[in-house]
Amino acid sequence: KYHPEYTPLSAEGNKIMMSIHGANYNVCLARAACPEKTKKLVSCWKRLSAKESAALAEAGLGEYVCLEERKEVERCIGSGVQRAVKDILG
């Protein structure tokens, strides 16, 4: 029996929740590691309405939304990981 406040999700619901939690984790990590670049990325995302974003995703163009800003954040995080590994390994 489930706790009264717990509502089990369907497989699709769980997949969506995992995606949301994963995105939240990534944004949190990016804000901690690369705050200025992440601020630019979030600002870019906010310029798009939900309708525009959905239309781009439907057209298969979602990966191009804020591409340059996203790449800057990815490079910044990658550099941080590289520095951390070098520090650990000496």
Q: Give pLDDT tens digits for 12-64.
A: 887 888 888 888 888 898 999 999 999 999 999 999 998 998 899 899 998 99
Residue 5: pLDDT band with limits 50, 70, 90 = low
Q: Kind and range of the H or E element at 19?
A: helix 11-33
Mean per-residue pLDDT, 66-78:
95
Are the C-beta atoms of 40 and 68 separated by less than 8 Å? no
Report whether 77 contacts 29 (CB < 8 A): yes
Task: Give the chain's length.
Answer: 90
